[in-house]
A = this chain, B = another copy of it.
Amino acid sequence: MRYGNLLNPSVAYETWGRLNSRQDNGILMFTGLSPSAHAAASPDDPSPGWWEQMLGPGKPIDTDRYFVICVSSLGSCFGSTGAASIDPLSKDLYRLSFPRLSIEDIARAGHSVVESLGLSRLHAVVGASMGGMTSIAYSILYPQIAANLVTISGSARAAPFAIALRSLQREIITSDPAWKQGHYAKGKAPITGMRLARKLGMLTYRSAAELEQRFGREVISEDRLTAAQFDHDFEVESYLQAQASKFVGGFDANCYLYLSRAMDIFDVADHGGSVEAGLAKVGARRVLVIGIQTDLLFPLAQQQLIADNLRDEREVQFFGFPSLQGHDAFLVDMDRFQPVIRDFFDSGSG
């Protein structure tokens, strides 16, 4: 594949299950901003994946039946080429010389994997969050390939509130003096900026109601309180600190910036002049759209809009779940997600 000024970019992926003789049981899966292609355990990597409860033998996306390909997004830092990869021409990291990344680029990179596996059709393309956007883009760019589309907590285009929140996260990172216009050394990454951006992310990925239920106004135990002014008082602060610490160090700051902006600039209306015209180009004939009532970042109305505009000439299932967990519910609220996704794939013709 070609992509901007990149010379032979790589696209990392993992697979589960086996291709059937008709070669029509493939499922292409795109991820959210932060995960790798390791959606579930496999013989090569038995560690649990980010969608372990959804993907595997006998699970809702049943790898006894389907051949699942999860791609690491182009531009991220888990094997696919991104800003943290070596530019083979300069022998240095791409950093900000990496070209402006779009959701469509990530979709095209995913398709290069499909082609390299020799597949000319797929049972489905699936994704949540940024992956939901990418799955829609894929079904527009390659309308003949995937018969089914699953888009979870995605969007046809970001609302200004989501843009503003992500823009602020990026500015928090680029304002960290350690960022150095993207030229931070290994081991000297802008971890303060990344930690703060991740905390803001967490607050938009979950919901106020969940925090209320889990933490209320519980204060940190005496022995964990520090004497420092303006250190943490409440358990909810401690929770965010722990979550952010898990993230920081594992994700490259420049890659984060590229992927974050890709979500802001994605607009289905670029494919035909309006969101309606763009969605009309979606090739999938069966579509599952799921959203969450408490999602601040990809609000339910955006899922409803996708479903409403796909209904002509397609079989569309739409669910708006009342999960407490907000945008991240697809990772957590298995009681609601598993049956609906299982049913969609069980009743498919793959």
Contacts and interface: CB of A to CB of B under 8 A. Distances in A.
Dominant SS at the A interface?
helix
A272 to B, nearest CB: 16
Interface string A120-164: 000000000000000000000000000000000000011111011
Interface residues of A, number: 47
A74 B203 CA distance: 30
Nearest to A296: B208
This protein's copies in its complex: 2
A39 interface: no
A281 interface: no
A96 interface: yes
Interface string A229-244: 1101110110010000
A59 interface: no
Nearest to A297: B208
B234 A159 contact: no
A158 B261 CA distance: 32
Interface string A266-284: 0100000000000000000
A216 interface: yes
A217 interface: yes
Interface of A: 96, 157-161, 163-165, 167-168, 170-172, 174-177, 182, 192, 196, 199-200, 203, 207-208, 211-212, 214-217, 229-230, 232-234, 236-237, 240, 257, 261, 264-265, 267, 296, 299
